[in-house]
Structure 1
Amino acid sequence: MEFKNFSYLLLLIGPLIIPIVFGFKKQIGFLSNLKYLIPAILFTGAIFIIWDLRFEERAIWRFNSDFVIGKNILTLPFEEWLYFLTIPFLGVFIYELLKQRFYDFERPNSFLVLSLILFVLFGILAFSTRQKLYPFFTFFLLSIYLGYTIFRNPFKKHYTKFYLTYLIMLLPFIFIGGIISALPIIEYNPEHIIGIRLLSIPVENFISLFLLLLMNITIYEFLKERRIY
């Protein structure tokens, strides 16, 4: 096994360092909320893993064996499973930090309008890309879930911190995703992506990140606010 086989794994370990190191601080108290975060990660991760497995079976993407350690769970590399742990873990940590540091900064009405615009836009994009499976399912699922948060879920009061979290998460995501796409660790079937890339990253991945964070944070807030256990 060569050093390059650890590329994907090393990229995913990095996002865990900050929340683990700073999460122990009492003034942040992040680790005390793990009982709400872990179920959110597991539930959301299960949906994304099923999606991942089906798309790999249909050859919509494939993993380059040169950049993974070679340990698979089902047919997915171990690192791919880890991705759905590390990215949400860092995202929710940033989200909680923003809630504490900028408690009074809220623009719920502005971000509700933005969400309504995105809801319509994602629905239109889903219809217009229905011949390409990756963008179609990404836009379709996001439009449904975003619509749910707008019309049925009280999460809209947290939109301000969510959108700020997404913007901040773009920094590590662009770094990690850029390397993943440039090496490439993951190769995409050109017949099933739009073909627009930002810094070598397919534009669909940015939308997928939005959905991943939105699902994790809404479920996390649902469990936390209701103190179910």
Structure 2
Amino acid sequence: MHYIYLFINIAVIFFPLVLSFDKKVHFFSKWKFVLPAIFITGVVFLIWDLLFVKLNVWSFNPGYIIGVQFFGLPLEEILFFLTVPYACIFIYECLNAYFPKDNLQKYSFSVSNLFLGLCIAILFFGYNRWYTVINFGFLFVVLAYVEYVNVKFRFMYKFYRAYLVSLIPFYIVNGFLTSIPVVMYNDKQNLGFRVGTIPFEDHFYLMGLLLMNVYLYELFKSRTNSLKTEV
């Protein structure tokens, strides 16, 4: 039973890792962009994670982790910020490879504004709950930056498409983590609304995590392409 969280991490990354050598997607050739994006985002979210443990926003069931910890976090939780982003960026690139058209890109800005408005509304009503405030505050900042400050490259239609597909494994993985439970939430620090056993905020935690990863991934790719153009 102590290996449950570790097995979940392995299951998350197994097929994306094996299929990274698919000839059409050729995902392994993009690791030089993927890994830095995951590392930088992972550092931010691990600091966030440590803060949440200190604030009793969530905790980890000792019966389902192997007991190895770094800086007070289970090894499995640290691996989570490698396996989940890798799988999600893999989904993002698969969709881009097999469905390259972006005819709906013109609607993505409106969708982003709806999410920004949602962030403001939820921050207003949940201002006294740590998970709600930090989660939606972070998403608001990153989303506003990508849409209003970043003007060099546009990818939000492709992002939203990947996010929607990522929700399928999200419900499976988070369903296990929250129903067993491996991760235990303090409902005094969130809105108290759940989809099944999954806190409402988790949906937007995934969005913020994926958005930062994809933005950095696209940023590193665009810089490399710019250097090639200059040469």
Please state which band the TM-score falls in when normalised by the shorter chain.
over 0.9
Displacement of 1:13 in angstroms is 0.8
Matched residue type, 2:169: P
Matched residue type, 1:35: K
Displacement of 1:105 in angstroms is 3.5
Q: Is the 8 A contact 2:50 2:73 kept in 1?
A: yes
Q: 1:33 maps to what in 2? A: 30
Q: 1:86 maps to what in 2? A: 83
Matched residue type, 1:59: N
Q: Is the 8 A contact 1:150 1:156 kept in 2?
A: no
Q: 1:141 maps to what in 2? A: 138
Q: 2:69 maps to what in 1? A: 72
Displacement of 1:26 in angstroms is 2.8
Secondary structure in 2 matching 1:104 = coil
How many Å separate the matches in 1 of 2:11 and 2:151? 33
How many Å separate the matches in 2 of 1:170 and 1:192? 23
Matched residue type, 1:104: K
Percent of paired sites with the same residue: 34
Normalised by the length of structure 1, the TM-score is 0.95
Q: 1:216 maps to what in 2? A: 213
Displacement of 1:159 in angstroms is 1.3
- Where does the alignment leave 5 or more consecutive residues of structure 1 unmatched? none
1:131 aligns with 2:132: no
Seen in structure 2, the aligned counterparts of structure 1 residues 156 and 191 have a Cα distance that, compared at 3 Å, is: farther
Q: Is the 8 A contact 1:149 1:156 kept in 2?
A: no
Deviation per residue, 1:1-58 (Å, 9 max, x gap): xxx1111111111121122111112322111111111110010000000000011011
How many Å separate the matches in 1 of 2:94 and 2:152? 17
Counterparts of 1:179-198 in structure 2, within 5 Å, are 179-198=176-195
How many Å separate the matches in 1 of 2:14 and 2:152? 28
Secondary structure in 2 matching 1:62 = strand
Counterparts of 1:28-177 in structure 2, within 5 Å, are 28-154=25-151, 157-177=154-174
State how many pairs are aligned. 226
Displacement of 1:225 in angstroms is 1.2
- Relative to structure 2, which stretch is displaced further, 77-86 or 146-155? 146-155
Normalised by the length of structure 2, the TM-score is 0.94
